[in-house]
Amino acid sequence: MKVDAALVTTALAGVPAQAREFEDAGYDGLYTFEGPHDPFFPLLLAGEHTQRIELTTAIAIAFARNPMTLANIGYDLQVASKGRFNLGLGTQIKPHIEKRFSMPWSKPAARMREMVLAIRAIWATWQHGTPLDFRGEFYRHTLMTPFFNPGPNPYEPPRIFLAGVGPLMTEVAGEVADGFMIHPFATEKSIRSITLPALERGAGRAGRTLADIEIAFPLMIAVGETEAEFERALTGIRSQLAFYGSTPAYKVVLDEHGWGDVQPELNRLSKQGQWPQMAELITDEMVDAFVVQGTPDDIATKVLARYGDVVQRVSFNAPYQVEPDRWARALAGFR
């Protein structure tokens, strides 16, 4: 099982040293996300200052951009990293796309499928000289002159990963993506009963199997060695679970466990800014389902026991402070 690290950007100047530290520590990959900063710029620097580690956006918001811009960025980062870049895309939710990015929102699963196909059509033009003639419901790309054509990529175009929660988007990933990123708001039960069957359905439509799709999971873990450390970890995790659970699109995971009734209440409290009260609604049973708990030395064994036959790569989703040596010990367990 591969283990990835989160490259949290606070200042671009710090990215080279942080990326080298992750590579030297033995991580297999590092990923950025679309938050206060652009997800692509840090990976350009990371690629320049590392040799081995994979570089992934997890995720870049697809609908804030168009297929041509994403094709350009992905192509260039693949060259800059010498073939180590994965283009990870996600939808975000309607209010952010329309109100934050001022971009259109409709039929997200169908739009994402078409976006991936459009990007691949553009890459085929550059890589193989295939005439560009993509005509879809949402995107249309029919013009490519020599001036705008970068030519063949010596490392081949990058892989495309998609993120999703519900079955429709997961099916799309199974059909058209090289990898699938499970949302952190997932449990073993929801992955086995919702995610894997949906990926298989999508893969089947394209004549593929699950073996053709690399599955990544930024799972929530609570690492500690004392009761106080576990309590501190779980306090942060309960708040994050409550935040995720307030999103209507993620109710499907709660429904799988019979906890769907808590979602509307979490949503109501979130609109009132009642964050402490939201965390109180996350029961111990919920925590046990979402979170793998253990010491730095045994967390790998517990992760592998729960997810070893399900996912091919994991990362540590930990909304709390942990000493760096604890992560080193946790990582060593996977080796």
Q: For each of the chain's 335 residues, which pLDDT tens digit applies? A: 999 999 988 899 999 999 999 999 999 999 999 989 999 999 999 999 999 999 999 999 999 999 999 999 999 999 999 999 999 999 998 999 999 999 999 999 999 999 999 999 999 999 999 999 999 999 999 999 999 999 999 999 999 999 998 899 999 999 999 999 999 999 999 999 999 999 999 999 999 999 999 999 999 999 999 999 999 999 999 999 999 999 998 999 999 999 999 999 999 999 999 999 999 999 999 999 999 999 999 999 999 999 999 999 999 988 888 888 889 999 999 98
Would you say residue 84 lies in a domain? Answer: yes
Instruction: Count structural domains, the chain.
Output: 1
> Does residue 227 belong to any structural domain of this protein?
no
Does a structural domain hold residue 283?
no
Domain for residue 214, yes or no? yes
Task: Give domain status of residue 91, yes or no.
Answer: yes
In a domain, 238, yes or no: no
Tell me, yes or no, whether 265 lies in a domain. no
Q: What is the CATH number of the domain that holds 123?
A: 3.20.20.30
* CB-based contacts of 197-201 (< 8 A; 24+ apart in sequence): 197/167, 198/167, 198/168, 198/170, 198/171, 198/174, 199/170, 199/171, 199/173, 199/174, 200/174, 201/171, 201/174
In a domain, 226, yes or no: no
Task: Tell me which residue range forms the domain holding 155.
Answer: 2-220+295-333
pTM of the model: 0.94
